[in-house]
Amino acid sequence: MVNETQHTCSASSSSRSDGGSSSGSESSKDNSRCSTPVLDADRHERLREKMRRRQDAGDKWFSLEFFPPRTANAAVNLISRFDRMGAGGPLFIDVTWHPAGDPGSDKETSSMIIANTAVNYCGLETILHMTCCNQTKDDITGHLQKAKRLGLKNIMALRGDPAGEEWEEEVDGFNYAVDLVKHIRSEFDDYFDICVAGYPKGHPEAESYEADLRHLKEKVFAGADFIITQLFFRPETFLKFMKDCQAIGITCPIIPGIFPIQGYHSLRQLVKLSKLEVPQEIKDVIEPIKDNDAAIRNYGVELAVSMCRELLDSGLVHGLHFYTLNREVATTEVLKRLGIWKEDPRRPLPWAVSAHPKRRVEDVRPIFWASRPKSYIYRTQEWDDFPNGRWGNSSSPAFGELKDYYLFYLKSKSPREELLKMWGEELTGEESVFEVFTCYITGEPNRNGYKVTCMPWNDDPLATETNLLKDQLEKVNRRGILTINSQPNINGKPSTDPIVGWGPSGGYVFQKAYLEFFTSSEIVTALLKVLKKYELRVNYHIVNVKGQNITNAPDLQPNAVTWGIFPGREIIQPTVVDPVSFLSWKDEAFALWIEQWAKLYEEESPSRMIIQYIHDNYYLVNLVDNDFPLENCLWQVVEDTFELLN
């Protein structure tokens, strides 16, 4: 929104008051008897309510602005950045809209799809920018409908830069942001939260500062819920602007836009686009160090921190909006120094929640996708309602096919060459595969000196929780029990436990031990004999790629393997082992051998044939030890199996 322009005249007659109390018909559904225990009020509130609640509670917050990337690879990186910066706890992020870049399309780099990914796959409250000038009403309505369908709930309504030099107002067209605000309210009622832009120094094209304030008031009275400002360089600029807004009756939240200077050229570019003037005292510091990026960034961080402090200390500012320019370091540094970066991200549930409104009640998932939550979200995106309270009998839910293993939000962050270094340029047998699994578990470099930081089933290094099982996992992987998912048993740890905790404080969390692995049919034969001894204690499910299927799950019922008991609430059981979903998962788990690993090698090459052999002949096994208060018996099961084999 740095290059946003604004209308200079036009009257607004809308009398809609700011941030009304109605929360729309969507949320009233939550009063039915089946609603989820409100684990995290955030999931049930609209953005404007969250802002109000944070303000009432005296909590300071921040938000982050990003622009859509140019390439698919950049999109993959941006999504990792969403995940990392999302961990710091932004109230929302926003994605800008560039009319020239086909922003409403289905391309993986479009504003629409990036915002969709942020909401659905990264679980971030997201504002999608939208400009209106030079667009037809139908185009705009189409974009808004698509945004709604994708689960987007917030729009930043902007005019955008007119095309061509000689721009003229169109009669009945979308000439100004206020027209877009009115259109959204008239076509979509109260569905969207609407944000508009404010100009602390007045819009460069406005007749005057005062005229610009009046136009801002029109936008608010037409239905905008809050204001984010253009960047500025001095805190007093914003504070004066805010008082002036309040003086003419603008009562909605006004969020200052903060631009940490990150480099000489980006600053110049920005200033040119926004027609802002950089104060002399800043120029005086920057000019002498203009070729020293690190020095400029340090200065930019200092400047931003001191300005933010002054704003927050004024008592008038509750949230700060950061123009990140898609970069991580400077903004994160500022936030950490301000103390508003959430250092200890408390998890509302053991897995990352999605922010799509239709998923707001979702609180149960099968454990299988623990390391591939984006794939789970993708494969369940067509569901109309989501398991809530319990998984239930899941003979009905159909998982979407996952044919495209290169969906950009599922794509590995590592390029092919790196994967080959990790997983082996050349495999010599099943044992070299065992070695890769073992190195991933131990964190030790492989025989060529490379650390294995990801696997086809997990694009990230081992989770902290899995580390609890490291020694045992190492031992079994060496011997061909190729683990891809596991959790230890937990018999009532506090919900605030830094490793296994989740949910509100004052609760207790529990887990049944879980182990999932690929292994050879020889080992499976022995395992099945051993499991007879554990029949009443261990639930198992064993399946190969052809679908041969052995389980002792009673009536194919799901088994809750993670649950939490909290003060004043019903029980939450967010993770289950569901025998029916396991069959959908096994297709994906087996396919990853081929799609992610085998295909790294030439066709017919020995390496490829080794992976293909494993894919064709190994079994995927999951084991649950139901006796969570006792010592985990699954290691003993594996030990007994090896003993039987010897």
Binding mask 386-425 for its own copies (x = CB under 8 A): -x-xxxxxxxxx----------------------------
Q: How far is the CB of 192 from its own copies (least distance, A)?
A: 26
Distance between CA atoms of residues 255 and 341, nearest Å: 17
Element housing 298 (H / E): helix 293-313
- Amino acid identity for residue 79 in this structure: I
Catalytic annotation, pick one of 65, 218, 333, 435: 65
CB 358 within 8 A of CB 384: yes
Q: How far is the CB of 627 from its own copies (least distance, A)?
A: 8
- Give the interface segment with its own copies, choosing from 131-139, 295-303, 339-347, 549-557 (CB under 8 A): 549-557
- Amino acid identity for residue 246 in this structure: Q
Q: How far is the CB of 30 from its own copies (least distance, A)?
A: 7
- Tell whether residue 57 is a contact of its own copies (CB under 8 A): no
Closer to its own copies by Cβ: residue 38 or 278: 38
Mark whether 65 is an active-site residue. Answer: yes
Summary count for the chain: helices (H), strands (E) = 21, 18
- Give the interface segment with its own copies, choosing from 50-58, 447-455, 479-487, 503-511 (CB under 8 A): 503-511
Which of 284, 384, 555, 602 is close enough to bind its own copies by CB under 8 A?
Answer: 555
Which of 352, 550, 565, 609 is close enough to bind its own copies by CB under 8 A?
Answer: 565
Count the neighbouring beta carbons within 10 Å of the beta carbon of residue 534: 20
Which of 192, 323, 510, 582 is close enough to bind its own copies by CB under 8 A?
Answer: 510
Which of 569, 591, 599, 642 is close enough to bind its own copies by CB under 8 A?
Answer: 569
- Tell whether residue 492 is a contact of its own copies (CB under 8 A): yes
Distance between CA atoms of residues 45 and 91, nearest Å: 12
- Give the interface segment with its own copies, choosing from 93-101, 464-472, 479-487, 536-544 (CB under 8 A): 536-544
Element housing 572 (H / E): strand 572-577
Tell me the β-bridge partners of 63: 92, 321
Q: How far is the CB of 25 from its own copies (least distance, A)?
A: 16
- Tell whether residue 58 is a contact of its own copies (CB under 8 A): no
Strands 513-519 and 482-487: antiparallel
Residue from 425, 512, 408, 502 nearest 459 by CA: 408
- Tell whether residue 382 is a contact of its own copies (CB under 8 A): no
Which position has the token pair 């995940």? 83
DSSP string, 90-105: -SEEEE---GGG-TTS
Q: How far is the CB of 392 from its own copies (least distance, A)?
A: 4
For Cα atoms 528, 529, 531, give the angle at the middle one, nearest 5 degrees.
60
Closer to its own copies by Cβ: residue 8 or 35: 35
- Give the interface segment with its own copies, choosing from 293-301, 370-378, 433-441, 557-565 (CB under 8 A): 557-565
- Tell whether residue 495 is a contact of its own copies (CB under 8 A): no
476: which 2 tokens? Answer: 């079994």
Closer to its own copies by Cβ: residue 184 or 509: 509
Determine the longest span between alpha carbons in the chain, in angstroms: 88
CB 367 within 8 A of CB 576: yes
Which of 403, 536, 547, 602 is close enough to bind its own copies by CB under 8 A?
Answer: 536
Which of 295, 420, 553, 591 is close enough to bind its own copies by CB under 8 A?
Answer: 553
Closer to its own copies by Cβ: residue 67 or 368: 368
Phi, psi of 257 (to 5 degrees): -90, 120
Query: E strands within 232-331?
Result: 254-258, 319-323
- Give the interface segment with its own copies, choosing from 87-95, 515-523, 562-570, 638-646 (CB under 8 A): 562-570
165: which 2 tokens? Answer: 């030099």
Q: Which residues contact 59 (CB under 8 A, 6 or more apart)?
A: 318
Q: Supply the DSSP symbol for 554.
A: G
- Tell whether residue 506 is a contact of its own copies (CB under 8 A): yes
Element housing 575 (H / E): strand 572-577
Which residues from 24-43 bind its own copies, rule CB under 8 A? 30-35, 37-38
Q: Is residue 549 classed as helix, strand or coil in its secondary structure?
A: strand
Closer to its own copies by Cβ: residue 28 or 145: 28
Which residues from 603-642 bind its own copies, rule CB under 8 A? 624, 626, 628-629
Query: E strands within 284-386?
Result: 319-323, 365-366
Q: How far is the CB of 364 from its own copies (least distance, A)?
A: 9
Distance between CA atoms of residues 196 and 253, nearest Å: 11
Which of 571, 583, 591, 609 is close enough to bind its own copies by CB under 8 A?
Answer: 571
Closer to its own copies by Cβ: residue 36 or 175: 36
Q: How far is the CB of 398 from its own copies (least distance, A)?
A: 12
Query: E strands within 475-557?
Result: 482-487, 490-494, 508-511, 513-519, 538-544, 549-551
- Tell whether residue 345 is a contact of its own copies (CB under 8 A): no
Q: Supply the DSSP symbol for 59.
A: -
Which of 96, 109, 324, 559 is close enough to bind its own copies by CB under 8 A?
Answer: 559
- Tell whether residue 103 is a contact of its own copies (CB under 8 A): no
Closer to its own copies by Cβ: residue 238 or 351: 351
Dihedral sign for Cα atoms in the order 21, 23, 25, 29? negative
- Binding site residues, its own copies, CB under 8 A: 30-35, 37-38, 387, 389-397, 491-492, 506, 508, 510, 536-537, 539, 552-555, 557-560, 563, 565-571, 573, 576, 624, 626, 628-629
Residues tagged active-site: 65
